[in-house]
Amino acid sequence: MTTPSAAPDRAADLDYIRETLAARPLFCHFPRHLEKNFLETRVESSGFYIQTGQWPLLFMFSVIVAVAWIYFPALLSVQDYLQLKFIEIPLGVTILFIIFGHRIPVVRRHFHRVMFPVALFQLITIQLHILISAGNGYFLYSILNLLICMLLIALGLRFTFKVLLALYMTAGVAALALGAAIRLPLDMLAFGYYYGIFGAVVSALAGIAERQERFAFLQELLVNYQSEELTRLNRQLDRIAHQDALTGIPNRRSFDLAAEREWEIALREQQPLSLLLLDVDFFKRYNDTYGHEGGDHCLQAVARAIHDTLLRPADLAARYGGEEFVLLLPGADATGAAEVAERVLQAVDARRITHASSSVAPHVTVSIGVTTVTPTPGQPLQEALRQADTALYQAKEQGRHQYRVFRAPPPEEALEG
């Protein structure tokens, strides 16, 4: 699957992709980073084609060699088995390299650069074989072998149109030059038919297929970009839905979901769960004195102080509403909850947020209600919240700027109530 490139400007990429898909130019060459990704996809597809067709390819080569040895033994034995030494064995080695060389990391990293000279050697070798066998019965078979080789190079090695065209032209010129140098018979009309026309047709078909692949690559890239953008927007919406807009910490909804989940876990595993409900002391006075903007800054500072006291990933601090905050401490016993409450008091005090209208301190303070519950079947989460709220009320009644731990009333008082 195509993966989005690590382009420095994704917006520019998207503009380019949309414009190219809309215009669908006859010749399409990508910017450098997209071209690199496209070529990587072609290397992957080449590896797939080679692995899929490796055994048929070896079988076909074996049949070609067998036909030559069975039906043209005299041709193979001339000049001390020249064809075997300089044609069939080198071709077999290059075919094996194409099949298994793809698995070598350095070859895979520079696949087309490595395979270009290999393919060039194959084409030149077979053309020399055609020239050597001119005038005997193996001439036609040599031409067919060349055509098969040209097709396999175009389909299997996945060179781009420009590279494939350069490969065919270089191999043709080199073969003619070598043939003339060693005085082999040259039939230019036949060469033009079996190599020139066939190479042009194969190159044109490869170019048409590559053009469609390029558009498909851009289309897939566009879909991936849009999918990533949609995922990012969904995450952003989810964060907005679960984050308090003013303080940046989780909101009431996020707390409710986390509390229900942790309550079920605590019930199943019979583990304690602690809740801290806290309130900014004399916050209405603060708003009256410093204005709502000052009140917002105060809540933001308190939220940061509270959040910074949490030491475990599972702990959660959330804005409960107005000037109220809540802390969820899964697995924390009463001692641990009291330690967190003490840290919260100290952290808010350490901020030294001036509060001239406070009756308990010259700076902003908080009051905290603490409860620790090991849930029992049928016991609702709301009971724990009620206990924390009761403890918070006690902290306020007893002078504020402190925490109080909920204590269940004796059975007699509970009956009287």
Strands 324-330 and 316-321: antiparallel
Active-site residue flag, 323 = yes
pLDDT tens track for 371-391: 999 999 999 999 999 999 999
Rounded Cα distance between 417 and 413, Å, is 6
**115 lies in a domain?**
yes
Q: Tell me which residue range forms the domain holding 26.
A: 10-229
Q: What is the mean pLDDT of residues 388-417?
A: 83
Stretch (H or E) spanning 404: strand 403-405
Query: Is residue 36 assigned to a domain?
Result: yes
Rg of the chain over all Cα atoms, to the nearest angstrom: 39
- Give the pLDDT band (50/70/90) at residue 83: low
| Contact status, residue 397 vs residue 360, Cβ threshold 8 Å | no
Asked if residues 156 and 52 have their Cβ atoms less than 8 Å apart, the reply is: no
The residue out of 196, 229, 262 marking a domain boundary is 229
Rounded to whole angstroms, the Cα distance separating 178 from 155 reads: 27
Top mean-pLDDT range of 42-51, 152-161, 196-205:
196-205
Tokens representing 326? 């809540």
> Each residue of 305-327: pLDDT tens digit?
999 999 999 999 999 999 999 99
* One domain, residues 29 and 141: yes
Burial 101-122 (b: 16+ CB within 10 A, else e): bbeeeebeeebbebbbebbbbb
Place of tokens 């060039």: 120
Cut 0.95: pTM above it: no
The answer to whether residue 238 is domain-embedded is: no
CA distance 9 to 4: 12
User: Per the structure block, which two tokens stand in for 130?
Assistant: 């055609």
Residue 403's beta-bridge partner residues?
A: 368
Alpha-carbon span 30 to 38, nearest angstrom: 9
* Residues whose CB is less than 8 angstroms from the CB of residue 356 and which lie 6 or more positions away in sequence, other chains included: 289, 362
> Residue 263 has which token pair?
């309550």
- Mean per-residue pLDDT for 399-404? 96
Kindly state whether residue 1 falls inside one of the protein's structural domains: no
β-bridge mates for residue 373, sequence order:
273
Q: Are residues 72 and 178 in the same domain?
A: yes
Residues 280 and 139 in one domain: no
Q: Are 366 and 350 in contact (CB under 8 A)?
A: no
How much is the pLDDT for 7?
45
| Pair (257, 401) in one structural domain | yes
pLDDT tens-digit map of 231-244? 888 888 877 788 99
Same domain (yes/no): 85, 215: yes
Q: Say whether pLDDT at 1 is over 60.
A: no
Among 197, 229, 261, residue at a domain's last position: 229
Whether 53 and 183 share a structural domain = yes
Please spell the DSSP secondary structure of 48-103, one letter per residue.
Answer: HHHHHHHHHHHHHHHHHHHHHHHH-HHHHHHHHHHHIIIIIHHHHHHHHHHHHHTT
Same domain? 356 vs 257: yes
Residues 216 and 73 in one domain: yes
Cα–Cα dist 414/417, whole Å: 5
The pair of structure tokens assigned to 259 is: 């509390």
Q: Is 68 in the same domain as 159?
A: yes
Among candidate residues 88, 210, 262, 323, the one labeled active-site is 323
